[in-house]
Chain A
Amino acid sequence: GENVEQHPSTLSVQEGDSAVIKCTYSDSASNYFPWYKQELGKRPQLIIDIRSNVGEKKDQRIAVTLNKTAKHFSLHITETQPEDSAVYFCAASREETSGSRLTFGEGTQLTVNP
């Protein structure tokens, strides 16, 4: 099955700096890669996703890049703000063959210091 690894497990940045979180996956057939933000005790919230037919996607301060050859994808947050502090999870799935059966990375605790 799919195995997703995520790094770093914790990340502390100053407000205004950029934050980068990286994930690797093992199943070359995976084609859907979402990123979720989870605040303590809350449900995961989708913040951005990318499919295997594109290499990069951007939404305001958030961007995701995908390298299919190397089987890794990254989340980039620019101009970080204290409200960006949360746990971020990457995930991967074979969207077409098994619905949206996601395999999650271990998570990254992001802390943005004012």
Chain B
Amino acid sequence: QQQVKQSPQSLIVQKGGISIINCAYENTAFDYFPWYQQFPGKGPALLIAIRPDVSEKKEGRFTISFNKSAKQFSLHIMDSQPGDSATYFCAASNNNNDMRFGAGTRLTVKP
């Protein structure tokens, strides 16, 4: 079922560093690409999302970069903080409510 490949599986970053998580998708019909953040014992929560008409979207320290021709998108977390330590999921969906999630990246930000 998985049509979205996410890497790395885990990531350790020092406080203040940049965290980068990458995703690739297959289905060209996907037109909505969200990133969800999940803390232990909680459900995923939308962090930031992009549609394919733009190549980049920035919200605070979080940026999505989108490459439509390569069918890839990535999440950049600038000035990473210990509070950012969580599991991050990329996803892709189309207007038929067919959303596929990546396998997740466990981010640890060390103080």
Q: Do A and B bind each other?
A: no
